[in-house]
Structure 1
Amino acid sequence: MMDRSPAIPRLGIPEFQWWSEALHGVGRNGYATVFPVTIGMAASFDESLVNKVFTAVSDEARAKNNEAIRSGHIERYQGLSFWTPNINIFRDPRWGRGQETYGEDPFLTTRMGLAVVRGLQGSEGYKYKKLLACAKHFAVHSGPEWSRHTLNLENLSQRDLWETYLPAFKALVQKGKVAEVMCAYQRIDGDPCCGNSNYLQKILRNEWGFKGMVVSDCSAISDFWVPGRHGVSANAADASAKAVIAGTDVECGSNYKNLPEAIKAGKITEKQIDASVTRLLQARFEVGDFDNEKDNTYRKIPMSVVANANHKQLALNIARESMVLLQNWNNVLPLAKGDNDIIVMGPNANDSVMQWGNYSGYPTSTITILKGIREKNPNIKYIQGCGLTRDDGVSTSLFDEITSNGRKGMTAEYWNNMTMTGKPVRTQTMTTAINLSNGGATVFAPGVNLDSISARYKGTFTPKESQKVSLSIHCDDGVRLIVNGDTLANEWKSRARIQNINREIDVVAGKKYNIQIDYFQKKDVAVMQFDIVHKTMQTKEELLAQIGNINKVIFVGGISPSLEGEEMKVDEPGFRGGDRTSIELPQVQRDMIKMLHDAGKTVIYVNCSGSAIGLEPEADNADAILQAWYPGEQGGRAVADVLYGDYNPGGKLPITFYRHDSDLPDFEDYSMANRTYRYFKGNALFPFGYGLSYTTFDVKPQEFKNGHLMVSVTNTGKVAGSEVVQLYIRRPADTNGPIKTLRGYKRVFLQPGESKVVDVAYTDTEHLELWDSATNTMRFIPGDYEIYIGTSSQRKDLKKYMMTISKVAETQEDTESN
């Protein structure tokens, strides 16, 4: 019942690993195809393509599991239980984990979540499930990260709960037949989610009929009793009993080893434990864990599928569809391929790791945005210009000039002790700058513990140029930096704070510098980051002189997964615990864009982020704005395809881009009042559902037929492209309800002059259920409805129709309208 289930030979039960990751590709298990982060996939409004993506992901996951079985041992992240999708509602753009979600809308989240589950679990008609998918985090979780182990949500509006926070979970349980549900960290009305019988028993099992497994978030059971956290249990045994009785079947952690003690103390019975064991064994039978290999088609999936050409093409396709063109003054885009009057700038232009997002695997190669642009025009010049958050000069990474054992990168050795004694439990090669942390209970490498560990990183740096370089380490606890036998830093002690170590040395071209970094971590947060860089400081005048007479600047900025994510330690202003305290674009980038604009340059701004950024000044200072998210391994090619017109952007925002911080309510207030497009009363800079194209479309409702709305869409422009037809509803009598709420959409591709009639269904029960305050339930209420059809959620992009609907049948028949 713990995430690492050992083999029980006397019962013929093999070992099983419950904890694997596949947020946007197989994560933390070596090489895999890295797709765009999920908030970017949501921008595609294309659940069919998302389903294909996760079918590819499940192929790679099965192949890796098959290989692990053949090796005779399955380690963490190599199993068949995958803790995805994250279907929490992205209610506030400051939440660091919002990049893992499918946006702020319950309907879009539901559709995307169902596509993910079906792709992961495979065909419903087949004898076995392909994988076990997991809907997380149940319930209401959506930040903040810094207080999730102590937070208690009280007096949550029943409307917000049932109309916003729960619909996607209900749909994935009842329609998607999702195998697992993960309970969240925080408390609701005094009880931690993983020990909350009201949610796990009354709602999840009794009302929704969930027959699958409940798994805890990592260390969530520890939060029951560890001092300074929830404080609802006296010790680990009491916490374990409380969680199992409430319905948490498998723990990510180690508290459940105390269940025998809880039985002896009379806190829980064997019969209560048997209920959980039955469910987890049932899940293992469903993936064929006990059956002969020849009976299971999935056991035959070969390793050749991993990161194959088809999957890389799929990564490019979804990255293209995720691109959202927010602004294009005077049709400055698309660019001409032969135009040499262009320079690329910005801190994210040449950053491959940024593109991977969080919870990622390792791609076999990454097309950076700079590389993608140079594929169109190799003569394009590049100047970084500034960092993400600081004007600390231009830093050029020289990590690719490090080798070890004849290969590029550094050799990493790990021990599950703090003294580097005995045989390493894992040895691997780090091919990119080291960026490791145990945030979100993430281990440094398979087989390595979360804490009480040590590591050694070794490589030979052979610089191509004679220059001054900086060896930069960002870590907790103990570290030693040794170069050619000389100890440059020796901070070998446990500490409560993250430390930054920078040592500058003068290097000679061609000379070899043997670098060794020793590290240990005692408990709690583990962080190890290392790079070797060359820094240069440039004034405004020097930068403009370097740009010279070039008139067009592609500035690639935004933020990075190193700044926003799960429970992180970030030593930067504007960030806390992986969340943001401000949505504004960092000032150093804002100043750079304004400088370029004031100098008369045409600025094309590419924003990379996993969340909405406040871009009000940039909307004035940039001629074009492209939202690129964290676009995965093929992201640079997708961005370039859009910039140069080889792909016509058709993505739509799955979240609201507010103007500035003052638009946002208090982060810790979970009420939906004045949040998201459904309740926001202000004027958004770029609204939910918004996105431009290089062509134009005409959208006209045609007829209501058998409970379906048929809409004619015509490409009235000169190039082929996609439009997302969107349908919103509102019940005027419900004065406290949403301003409007999405209840249908359809992405359609059209050639110039082509028309298609598409089906945007909305009159089945699911599409018309809204909150009824009279009965405190979600249900369809006969009466007058406002129906909005258009291309974004903003009023000017919608056509409004009034309709009286008297009844809705499950068969989508007998709908009366006028």
Structure 2
Amino acid sequence: MNRIFSFSLVLVVSFTLPGYAQRKTIDQRVDSLMKLMTLAEKVGQLNQYSGREVTGPASDRKNYLLNDIKNGKVGSMLNVKGVKDTREIQSIALQSRLKIPLLFSLDVIHGYKTVFPIPLAESASWDLDIIKQSAQVAATESAASGIHWTFAPMVDIARDPRWGRVMEGAGEDTYLGAQIAKTRVLGFQGEQLGAVDRIMACAKHFAAYGASMAGRDYNPVDISEQQLHEIYLPPFKAAADAGVATFMNSFNTFNGIPATGNAYLQRDILKGQWNYKGFVVSDWGSIKEMTPWGFAKNLNYAAEKAILAGSDMDMESEAYKKELENLVNNGKVDLKYVDEAVRRILYKKFELGLFDNPYKFSDEKREAKVMNDPKYKDIAKLAAQKSIVLLKNDNATLPLSKGLKNIALIGPLVNAKRDQAGSWVVYADTANMVSVYEGLQKKYAKNVKLSYAQGTGIDDALTNGFPEAVNAAKNADVVVMVLGESWDMSGEAKSRTDICLPGQQEALFKAVKATGKPVVVVLMAGRPLVFNTIAAQADAIVYAWFLGDQGGNAIADVLVGDYNPSGKLPISFPRNVGQIPIFYNYYNTGRPVTKPSDIRYKSAYIDSPNDPRFAFGHGLSYTTFAYNDLKLDQATLQKGQSLKLSFKLTNTGKVVGEEVAQLYIHDQFASIVRPVKELKDFVKVKLKPGESKVINFELTPEKLAFYQEKIGWTTEPGTFKVMIGTASNDIKLEGNFELK
């Protein structure tokens, strides 16, 4: 006991040293602690349990977990939240011989108490400031509730909207995804771990889970090395460079090897080439799941493959707990692999300051104060406003006219609250959620009559509510239909083969549209949907995703014109499932379609155009913007130099608006085929009516590099096209330069 006490006292004092000295001191503290640990205690640090049963009623499982915690056989708990429970369980961990504190973790995906738009929706804002703010609020609330660590951001690039987890990410583009990955990591963590209003982030799922075959969860991935490095890894590298504390491996295979047991991904790339210093946690049960994959014949072999491959912490497989000691004692696993994993985990616990104060994040007064901070609602509302994408607006149908007397609100999601929150919600408190009906009710008070008819359910085969809906439309000046998915139709294990509007919703639209009244459609979903009849016939379409607590207020602001929408699509919207996967940065092929009228023996469909219904980067505004005067400061770009581009952006409309100007390039000839376009930069600019601003971009040889197997990242001399526009399919300015 005296030995442990003096050890703790010395390290508390030395931990206050700044900079490099502080890092060296944490290393020393980890070394000192590990000298005291038995193999069983080391293995315990690699074991993570879900805490649902710990805080529940008495059971054999609860007793089992509590005994393991008390005996130092657990390093982390997930699914425990709130100061009361985290403090209570931490106190049990401190009864262990070495009193090593637990890490408490949770899936805080898009908000903790305050629910923000789903990540895909926030990505549609193309606004890094608001994305960072939402992560900061989520971190502040989580930390005040005793949470140390979130399993976010998900940085998987996803090109298949059938995949339910597309809602958790930033969409289809590598560059946009990398910028958002970095931003969310910094929002969750701050500049340095240890602040009581920040938590550890986790970049997931490493790697290429977004390329899961057939858009199905837990499925294999079959892509080239070039695609892995060029498309799927850069957001993870951006997260690592931003200092993300942890990585989570993925459920998929790569090159036939499950990611959890894939040494190429975890040791060669992550911990080798990238020199990553944080730790890797398995996804739920993914170590034991290597057995049904047919990769590990039993749990013993699965534990061996996982630890050797670089998976540091075992989430809910109990593989390390049950097998690792024997593997070390039998000489199948060198102790150095266990020590490395333990060292990485302990380092983060010291960095968070948990050894100095295990209850640092368990302050009831701070929890009560933070959870009731009214300014978070304002941030959530702004995030929701910025996430809305105006897909269509024929004849300036929106914003709604000031002289309206009667608005018909029709559809199964008009009064939706729980659905506004989407999947992966910590607190689904509908009392804090605002429906579209409530949002418009606040806007119009008693000045405009709001007539409501549900018409049909979200996934309902019945049409007996159609007559009431049609009658409401006939008596209205304008119709607002709120349609889409339910909250539990997207998210993990929510893959769909049919991503059309479910049930009878499109039939309801046809019936309402037949009245001849103007119809505005608000669509809520966690993914791109297929809605061809609505796309063709609706007067205006607002894509609202799932916007969180303040969704109804934000949608109402956009509909009445109190907020000018500025969102842009972070993912392509297909015309039909047969086009999937569909994305803007495709390869041209040897027989490209150059004229839609000429598809004979071309790379084309005979029953559908090649292009998406709505393209990556698309999004309208209530104002208009002009792009002029593209200038390149030089015609050639040399190694070690940068090319500066500028153009003038002007608000040519009558209201204030924000525009997302997008920079694309095309490498016209290279030793491997290059995409027709690649996003390389963007900027979001707010302009008053008639106001102009000169926008500057910069290109370096590094931004022009591509990946070649056996060579790695490289640049080649050649001619490049530069394109600037308002969407990937709406290029306003073009130029050329040569890379020497």
TM range (shorter): 0.7 to 0.9
CA contact under 8 A between 1:328 and 1:624: conserved in structure 2? yes
- Supply the distance in 1 between the matched residues of 2:361 and 2:111 (Cα, whole angstroms): 23
- Counterpart of 2:663 in structure 1: which amino acid? L
- 1:299-346, CA deviations, whole angstroms, 9 ceiling, x for partnerless residues? 995541225211110000011001100101100110135512311011
Counterpart in 2 of 1:596? 512
Counterpart in 2 of 1:291? 356
Question: Given the alignment of the two structures, is residue 724 of structure 1 paired with residue 663 of structure 2, yes or no?
Answer: no
CA RMSD of aligned residues (A): 2.5
Counterpart in 2 of 1:741? 678
Question: Given the alignment of the two structures, is residue 41 of structure 1 paired with residue 122 of structure 2, yes or no?
Answer: yes
Quote how far apart the aligned CAs of 1:238 are: 2.1
- Supply the distance in 1 between the matched residues of 2:363 and 2:484 (Cα, whole angstroms): 41
CA contact under 8 A between 1:62 and 1:298: conserved in structure 2? no
Counterpart in 2 of 1:583? 499
Q: Judging changes above 3 Å, is the alpha-carbon distance between structure 1 residues 302 and 664 closer, same or farther for their aligned structure 2 residues?
A: closer
Question: Given the alignment of the two structures, is residue 769 of structure 1 paired with residue 705 of structure 2, yes or no?
Answer: yes
Counterpart in 1 of 2:401? 336
Counterpart in 2 of 1:430? none
- Supply the distance in 2 between the matched residues of 1:295 and 1:553 (Cα, whole angstroms): 53
Question: Given the alignment of the two structures, is residue 376 of structure 1 paired with residue 443 of structure 2, yes or no?
Answer: yes
Quote how far apart the aligned CAs of 1:263 are: 3.0
Quote how far apart the aligned CAs of 1:130 are: 3.2
Question: Given the alignment of the two structures, is residue 790 of structure 1 paired with residue 725 of structure 2, yes or no?
Answer: yes
- Supply the distance in 2 between the matched residues of 1:116 and 1:249 (Cα, whole angstroms): 23
What SS is found at the alignment partner of 1:177? coil
Quote how far apart the aligned CAs of 1:584 are: 2.1
Counterpart in 1 of 2:389? 324
Question: Given the alignment of the two structures, is residue 282 of structure 1 paired with residue 282 of structure 2, yes or no?
Answer: no
Quote how far apart the aligned CAs of 1:586 are: 2.8
- Supply the distance in 2 between the matched residues of 1:223 and 1:646 (Cα, whole angstroms): 51
Quote how far apart the aligned CAs of 1:284 are: 0.9
- 1:420-466, CA deviations, whole angstroms, 9 ceiling, x for partnerless residues? xxxxxxxxxxxxxxxxxxxxxxxxxxxxxxxxxxxxxxxxxxxxxxx
Q: 1:699 aligns with which of 601, 624, 627?
A: 627
CA contact under 8 A between 1:792 and 1:798: conserved in structure 2? no
Quote how far apart the aligned CAs of 1:676 are: 4.3
Identity in percent: 34
Q: 1:63 aligns with which of 115, 129, 144?
A: 144
Q: Judging changes above 3 Å, is the alpha-carbon distance between structure 1 residues 61 and 541 closer, same or farther for their aligned structure 2 residues?
A: closer
Q: 2:714 aligns with which of 766, 779, 783?
A: 779
- Supply the distance in 2 between the matched residues of 1:307 and 1:743 (Cα, whole angstroms): 40
- Supply the distance in 2 between the matched residues of 1:56 and 1:334 (Cα, whole angstroms): 31
Q: How do residues 321-720 of structure 1 correspond to structure 2 at under 5 angstroms?
A: 321-362=386-427, 363=429, 365-378=432-445, 379-392=449-462, 537-538=464-465, 540-567=466-493, 578-586=494-502, 588-665=504-581, 675-679=583-587, 682-700=610-628, 703-704=631-632, 707-720=643-656
- Supply the distance in 2 between the matched residues of 1:121 and 1:542 (Cα, whole angstroms): 51
- Supply the distance in 2 between the matched residues of 1:629 and 1:558 (Cα, whole angstroms): 9
Counterpart in 2 of 1:118? 186
- Supply the distance in 1 between the matched residues of 2:159 and 2:141 (Cα, whole angstroms): 32
Q: How do residues 94-109 of structure 1 correspond to structure 2 at under 5 angstroms?
A: 94-109=162-177
Q: Judging changes above 3 Å, is the alpha-carbon distance between structure 1 residues 196 and 776 closer, same or farther for their aligned structure 2 residues?
A: same
Quote how far apart the aligned CAs of 1:236 are: 1.8
Quote how far apart the aligned CAs of 1:286 are: 1.3
What SS is found at the alignment partner of 1:797? strand
Counterpart in 2 of 1:70? none
- 1:168-206, CA deviations, whole angstroms, 9 ceiling, x for partnerless residues? 111211x21111111001222232101111111111111
- Counterpart of 1:651 in structure 2: which amino acid? G
CA contact under 8 A between 1:200 and 1:246: conserved in structure 2? yes
Counterpart in 2 of 1:255? 319
- Supply the distance in 2 between the matched residues of 1:692 and 1:146 (Cα, whole angstroms): 29
- 1:326-375, CA deviations, whole angstroms, 9 ceiling, x for partnerless residues? 10110011013551231101111111111111111224511111111111
Q: Judging changes above 3 Å, is the alpha-carbon distance between structure 1 residues 42 and 8 closer, same or farther for their aligned structure 2 residues?
A: same
Q: Judging changes above 3 Å, is the alpha-carbon distance between structure 1 residues 632 and 261 closer, same or farther for their aligned structure 2 residues?
A: same
- Supply the distance in 2 between the matched residues of 1:212 and 1:128 (Cα, whole angstroms): 20
- Supply the distance in 2 between the matched residues of 1:283 and 1:238 (Cα, whole angstroms): 28
What SS is found at the alignment partner of 1:791? strand
- Counterpart of 2:548 in structure 1: which amino acid? G
Q: Quick check: 640-649 or 304-313, which moved more?
A: 304-313
- Counterpart of 1:596 in structure 2: which amino acid? V
Q: Judging changes above 3 Å, is the alpha-carbon distance between structure 1 residues 144 and 565 closer, same or farther for their aligned structure 2 residues?
A: farther
Counterpart in 1 of 2:602? none
Question: Given the alignment of the two structures, is residue 2 of structure 1 paired with residue 47 of structure 2, yes or no?
Answer: yes
Counterpart in 2 of 1:88? 156
Quote how far apart the aligned CAs of 1:162 are: 1.2
Q: Judging changes above 3 Å, is the alpha-carbon distance between structure 1 residues 147 and 646 closer, same or farther for their aligned structure 2 residues?
A: closer
Question: Given the alignment of the two structures, is residue 211 of structure 1 paired with residue 277 of structure 2, yes or no?
Answer: yes
CA contact under 8 A between 1:343 and 1:381: conserved in structure 2? yes
- Supply the distance in 2 between the matched residues of 1:742 and 1:298 (Cα, whole angstroms): 45
Counterpart in 2 of 1:423? none
- 1:264-296, CA deviations, whole angstroms, 9 ceiling, x for partnerless residues? 444323332111101100011111111248999
What SS is found at the alignment partner of 2:209? coil
- Supply the distance in 1 between the matched residues of 2:454 and 2:547 (Cα, whole angstroms): 20
Counterpart in 1 of 2:734? 800
- 1:623-658, CA deviations, whole angstroms, 9 ceiling, x for partnerless residues? 000000001100111111000000000100000011
Counterpart in 2 of 1:54? 135
Q: Judging changes above 3 Å, is the alpha-carbon distance between structure 1 residues 209 and 134 closer, same or farther for their aligned structure 2 residues?
A: same
Q: Judging changes above 3 Å, is the alpha-carbon distance between structure 1 residues 732 and 602 closer, same or farther for their aligned structure 2 residues?
A: same
Quote how far apart the aligned CAs of 1:106 are: 0.5
Counterpart in 1 of 2:266? 200
- 1:381-410, CA deviations, whole angstroms, 9 ceiling, x for partnerless residues? 1111111122336xxxxxxxxxxxxxxxxx
- Counterpart of 1:589 in structure 2: which amino acid? Q
Q: How do residues 236-247 of structure 1 correspond to structure 2 at under 5 angstroms?
A: 236-247=299-310
Which ranges in structure 2 are unaligned for 5 or more consecutive residues? 1-45, 50-73, 76-92, 594-609, 634-641
What SS is found at the alignment partner of 2:719? strand
- Counterpart of 1:224 in structure 2: which amino acid? M
- Counterpart of 1:730 in structure 2: which amino acid? H
CA contact under 8 A between 2:103 and 2:349: conserved in structure 1? no
- Supply the distance in 1 between the matched residues of 2:245 and 2:365 (Cα, whole angstroms): 22
- 1:235-260, CA deviations, whole angstroms, 9 ceiling, x for partnerless residues? 22221122111111111112221122
Q: Quick check: 338-347 or 274-283, which moved more?
A: 338-347
Counterpart in 1 of 2:29? none
Q: Judging changes above 3 Å, is the alpha-carbon distance between structure 1 residues 127 and 718 closer, same or farther for their aligned structure 2 residues?
A: closer
User: What is the total number of aligned residue pairs between the two structures?
Assistant: 617
- 1:648-675, CA deviations, whole angstroms, 9 ceiling, x for partnerless residues? 001000000111223225xxxxxxxx54
- Supply the distance in 2 between the matched residues of 1:41 and 1:52 (Cα, whole angstroms): 11
- Supply the distance in 2 between the matched residues of 1:381 and 1:128 (Cα, whole angstroms): 48
Q: Judging changes above 3 Å, is the alpha-carbon distance between structure 1 residues 541 and 147 closer, same or farther for their aligned structure 2 residues?
A: closer
Q: 2:246 aligns with which of 170, 180, 183?
A: 180
Quote how far apart the aligned CAs of 1:699 are: 2.1
Q: Quick check: 202-211 or 578-587, which moved more?
A: 578-587
- Supply the distance in 2 between the matched residues of 1:717 and 1:586 (Cα, whole angstroms): 37
- Counterpart of 2:674 in structure 1: which amino acid? G
